[in-house]
Amino acid sequence: MALYNKIDAFAADIGLGLHNLATNQLTFAMTTLANKPISSADAVLGDITEINYSGLSSRNITTTSWGQSSGLATLIIQDLVISATASIADFGTIVLYNNTTSSDPLISWWEFASDITTMESGDTLTIDSDQTNGVMTIE
Amino acid sequence: MIMIIVAPNTPFRFGWDPEKRAVYSLWADNIAHEQIASNIENPETAKFAVEMWARGYRSRDREDHKKKGYKHFHILAEPGRLGLKEDIERQSLNTGSAKAEG
């Protein structure tokens, strides 16, 4: 399992009204491991160096739910399968961000053990998240 | 077609027709293409029928990919646990043996 990495700015952003996790369009960005986000410094999409997405299908996420029970809020998203129609640039991290808020604030990121360098036309990448505990809980 | 249903991770959209009690795959202009389910009485059952169809599509798609030698990459994302530290500590005090004395 790829460990969760928190973007520090997110802790403040939720109190600044930057996120409506129930309705905003959440999206995955991708970087190489060499350009992985710095949790303490990076806050918006413009702070990270994304790969060239040419040949990749949509990285938009379908949000299942954002709600709370007994004071525990959970963000659940549907698994995402990204398809390639060409040779894809190397990547090693996936970064969750809010694609609705104008500044594209970052939320969290996960990394592979090493960069994927062999994704070619016909290949797929599945981003698999827990359908009970979601990608994130806040309590 | 009353209700449009999107099936994630497939290229398809579906529609539920309550008069015909059927779910159809749709062309781009939302015209019915092929019936995938019948005797569908309500929206929840329609969504369930679409998800069952989509699971079969994804499974066949993965098998097709394997046969063609395509690579399938996968990442299992650990859920993050964000806590309000003060709240957690307060709960610990409230449930512990130590009590605040006025």
> Which DSSP symbol is given to B35?
E
**Min Cα–Cα distance to chain B from A103, Å:** 22
Q: What is the ipTM of this complex?
A: 0.85
Asked whether the beta carbons of residue A94 and residue B79 sit closer than 8 angstroms, the reply is: no
**Stated pTM of the model:** 0.72
What residues does A73 pair with on adjacent strands? A68, A138
Terminal-to-terminal C-alpha distance of chain A: 22
Residue-wise pLDDT for A53-66, tens only, equals 999 999 999 999 99
Question: What token pair was written down for A120?
Answer: 């070619």
Set of chain B residues whose Cβ sits within 8 Å of the Cβ of A3: 78
Confidence of residue B5 (pLDDT cuts 50, 70, 90): confident
Task: Name the token pair of A2.
Answer: 């790829």
**Closest partner residue to B9 among A2, A11, A81, by Cβ?**
A81
Residue B36 phi, psi dihedral angles, 5° rounding: -115, -15
- For residues A100 and B8, the model is more confident at A100
pLDDT tens for A105-125 read: 999 999 999 999 999 998 999
| pLDDT tier at B98, thresholds 50, 70, 90 | very low
Per DSSP, the three-state class of B48 is helix
